[in-house]
Chain A
């Protein structure tokens, strides 16, 4: 009983199908998000959209050569084609005839269209479904297995583990260079790092990762995995290392929650993970420390204080001038600030409560108290006047 398992261990012995799928998804997510950080920092996010669509043509072309959908050569061929896509986009925008966004927008639909045409005319009997290309087939992951060093494990898992390893090595070896070239490409060239080399190395790995991932999870989720966690991490962190770390956490959380939700409702797994990724990114936009909710709160608070400061300034500026009766009069002050009577009175009453302002009943104007004068001078210093 024990004897054969020494030579052949089946992953399914200790992980059930669901766990195998989830593990593969998590590994894929981490492999993508590590590179994704640099894509987001270098403003290359939409290249993943272009890549994930156009490698279909790479796969079709490579298939015509290898005649085998399971050949590893197919992966390599498709990846090389992905790099070619990036190169073609770069070449096109370098002619200056089109903007770089337009170059992306013209190249990848063309490649995708060519792929669809080729499949529908020459490869119709081949199992190359365009739907699967977009949506992936997470369910199939545990069924496609291979044996490595006596362990039988899902093929997708094995490929993604290797890719994760390569990506990790790349990022840790070139961390310094990647950092410099992401934050200051001009300085990177001056300092002697060839950002061209780094760029194409990054794009090659992105392409490889996308090709390997896309068989399992589909083109759409690949985009989400690359960009979503990295974008969330970008909003939350201040250093590159933390950003890398946080993005893997986001990626893992997205994969796990998306996976179980999809299982619970019996819906598309890759679709659900893409939705969850979008939601977590959106929540991060709302809730991060410089996020919208904080900004709205601060804006409100600032504006309130700012308006009170403004009133003090107005009083201080006009008190000693001849037009004070007009500018600061009980009933006329509102016309000069362009606020309505009620608002002006509410704000002035607050300042009176705080002891900055008093009513001068003799001249029928508002004016500053001693404390208000001090505050007036402070404001002038505060705002650099």
Chain B
């Protein structure tokens, strides 16, 4: 029985199969699509896992502030290297994001300002600096000669323009980040759950913070070209938020976040390839958020389950009263 089905599947042309479920084989097999899709999927997977830690540490808006703050680093790197080379721009983004992060921590620790006010001010000041520098080089006699059209892609992202080298770059960041997450899984777990206890057994929380900031920064920096400074924070936090609706185990939450990230990236990239003119990053984010809202509704902890539970409770209550 099963072998017949199996043969049938084999005998079906793969392309027909895809067409049968409503996917366009032509697009799926095009080189551009494969490159873009690989890039966004790997990025979304890693960002989803790393971002889960950010969400659990209660720092989801810090990611947003750092995303915005990495923009001037891109321009400064361009001014120093006089080229649109992805690697140098990425390093620029990491440096300026880190500087912003340090300033945020410094002000938060040393003033009576609330963290969200600090974030808002730093975010706009850094992004403002990016705007200033961008307008400075636009008409500049020296910088003006180098083509700089790609620079504005870092604000909203231009996934459609990424090339194989960018996918390599994403992999170079993704693999060590995942490795760090995997190797220090146990340490991250106790660091997030109970920092004081972690310290009491000799785990250095400074070291853990450095590791966390390091991988978060590099994920943000690689994501800029695909998703842009404004929206990169959703790649970090939305998969984590979604995954938290489904499981009570950290390991499962991480895996679900990775799946949510990569599935959204695939669907989003596909939609943006089918409908010309749609930007990839925003499409992925809409899919991601859609999954998040659906999860909040139908997950075991979600609104629907809560509502049913309450109804059942009331029913039982009224029964026990009337019986």
Bound together: yes
A40-B117, A105-B61 known; A292 vs B111 contact (CB < 8 Å)? yes
Contact A285 B117 (CB under 8 A): no
A105-B61, A285-B107 known; A274 vs B282 contact (CB < 8 Å)? no
Residue from the list B120, B135, B286 in contact with A113, Cβ < 8 A: B286
Contact A220 B135 (CB under 8 A): no
Residue from the list B131, B152, B230, B234 in contact with A110, Cβ < 8 A: B234
Cβ of A196 within 8 Å of any chain B Cβ, yes or no, is no
Nearest neighbor of A113 in chain B, beta-carbon distance: B282
Stretch at the interface among B24-32, B187-195, B211-219, B271-279: B271-279
- Binary flags per residue of A212-242, CB closer than 8 Å to B gives 1, else 0: 0000000011011011101100110000000
At the interface, is chain B mostly helix, strand, loop or mixed? Answer: helix
With a cutoff of 8 Å between Cβ atoms, the chain B residues found around residue A223 in the complex are: 120, 123-124
Complex-state Cα separation, A195 to B230, whole angstroms: 32
- Binary flags per residue of A128-166, CB closer than 8 Å to B gives 1, else 0: 001100110000000000000000000000000000000
A101-B61, A234-B113 known; A110 vs B132 contact (CB < 8 Å)? no
A29 CB to closest chain B CB (Å) equals 13
Cβ of B43 within 8 Å of any chain A Cβ, yes or no, is no
Complex-state Cα separation, A287 to B127, whole angstroms: 24
Cβ of B53 within 8 Å of any chain A Cβ, yes or no, is no
Complex-state Cα separation, A335 to B266, whole angstroms: 65
Cβ of A346 within 8 Å of any chain B Cβ, yes or no, is no
Stretch at the interface among A18-26, A202-210, A264-272, A301-309: A264-272
A61 CB to closest chain B CB (Å) equals 15
A95-B296, A110-B289 known; A274 vs B131 contact (CB < 8 Å)? yes
Contact A277 B121 (CB under 8 A): yes
Cβ of B262 within 8 Å of any chain A Cβ, yes or no, is no
Stretch at the interface among B6-14, B84-92, B237-245, B310-318: B237-245
Contact B296 A235 (CB under 8 A): no
Cβ of A99 within 8 Å of any chain B Cβ, yes or no, is yes
Residue from the list A45, A114, A270 in contact with B282, Cβ < 8 A: A114
At the interface, is chain A mostly helix, strand, loop or mixed? Answer: helix
Chain B contacts with A in 275-299, Cβ cutoff 8 A: 275, 277-279, 281-283, 285-286, 289, 292, 296
Cβ of A15 within 8 Å of any chain B Cβ, yes or no, is no
- Binary flags per residue of A266-293, CB closer than 8 Å to B gives 1, else 0: 1110111111011101100100101110
Contact B139 A121 (CB under 8 A): no
Complex-state Cα separation, A251 to B133, whole angstroms: 22
Stretch at the interface among A46-54, A63-71, A315-323, A373-381: A46-54
A49-B123, A275-B129 known; A231 vs B117 contact (CB < 8 Å)? yes
Complex-state Cα separation, A282 to B111, whole angstroms: 10
Cβ of B40 within 8 Å of any chain A Cβ, yes or no, is no
With a cutoff of 8 Å between Cβ atoms, the chain B residues found around residue A278 in the complex are: 121-122, 124-126, 128-129
Cβ of A117 within 8 Å of any chain B Cβ, yes or no, is yes
With a cutoff of 8 Å between Cβ atoms, the chain B residues found around residue A110 in the complex are: 234, 285-286, 289
A48-B120, A49-B64 known; A106 vs B238 contact (CB < 8 Å)? yes
Cβ of B136 within 8 Å of any chain A Cβ, yes or no, is yes
Cβ of A44 within 8 Å of any chain B Cβ, yes or no, is yes
Of all A-B residue pairs in the complex, the 7 with the closest CB atoms, nearest first, are A278-B125, A274-B128, A271-B131, A113-B282, A224-B124, A109-B234, A268-B135
21 contacting pairs across A/B (C-beta < 8 A) = A40-B114, A44-B116, A98-B241, A99-B60, A104-B60, A106-B238, A106-B241, A110-B234, A110-B286, A113-B285, A113-B289, A116-B156, A134-B131, A220-B68, A224-B124, A235-B111, A266-B135, A267-B132, A275-B128, A277-B128, A278-B126
Q: A130-B156, A220-B124 are in contact. List 9 more A-B contacts (CB 8 A).
A: A49-B120, A53-B230, A120-B278, A234-B112, A271-B134, A272-B132, A278-B126, A281-B121, A291-B110
